[in-house]
Amino acid sequence: MKVSLAHRVLLVGFMGSGKSAVGRELAEQLGWRFEDIDEAIIRDTGMSIAEIFKDPGESSFRLEEHRKTREALNQDEVVIATGGGWAVVPGRFDEIPDSTLTIWLTVSPEEAIRRVADSENTRPLLSCSNPLEKARNLLKERSDSYSQAEHKVDTDGFSVEDVSVRILEILQANNPRNGME
């Protein structure tokens, strides 16, 4: 983190890494707001992600994702769950303001596919004949981008609560005043 006190937490990582579930739990533990970028887009457009990808198209989704994440990053005391493609665009980590703790939630392709089964409305990229192969390829392409986060937290084999506690520990190590009450 660029300065020592965290005002917000940004979760990045692949589809099915648990950004939304962990983010919600973490925000509750901290008494902070939770911003789920995919949910905000669905709410504000009244469309599913699959519908947006179809028309007006993925690039419109990416613009909206960028705009909403930027807005969320302007807030304090917020946990932000990005969509799995946000961190992949070059320069994204340069836009993150000071006092933001960035966490990469890692997941294996096998576990990701298991977790996101039946979610083609929110994950059109995995709605194909061989989602596991697609997940493997995408993860290979994207891992270098995700690895720009300051901390990496594994999620395979861990519960939402386990992962959230691990992030709280990281947060406390960075800012001993957070979450100590």
The single residue listed with the structure tokens 């690895």 is 147
**Footprint of ligand S3P on residues 39-78 (CB under 6 A)?**
49
Residue closest to 145 by CA, chosen among 72, 91, 76: 91
Tell me, by CB under 6 A, how many residues bind ligand S3P: 12
122 sits near ligand S3P (criterion: CB under 6 A): yes
Choose which of 25, 38, 64, 111 interacts with ligand S3P (CB under 6 A): 38
CA pair distance 99, 155, nearest whole angstrom: 24
Output 16 or 178, the one with its CB closest to ligand S3P: 16
Question: Among residues 12 and 178, whose Cβ is nearest to ligand S3P?
Answer: 12
Question: Exposed, middle or buried by CB within 10 Å (0-12, 13-18, 19+), for 128?
Answer: exposed
Q: Phi-psi bin for 91: left (phi > 0), alpha (psi -120 to 50), beta?
A: left
Stretch in the footprint of ligand S3P (CB under 6 A) among 70-78, 101-109, 117-125, 154-162 = 117-125
In terms of CB distance, is 48 or 172 closer to ligand S3P?
48
For residue 91, what are the CA distances in angstroms to 23, 78, 145? 23, 22, 10
Binding residues vs ligand S3P (CB under 6 A): 15, 19-20, 38, 49, 83-85, 122-125
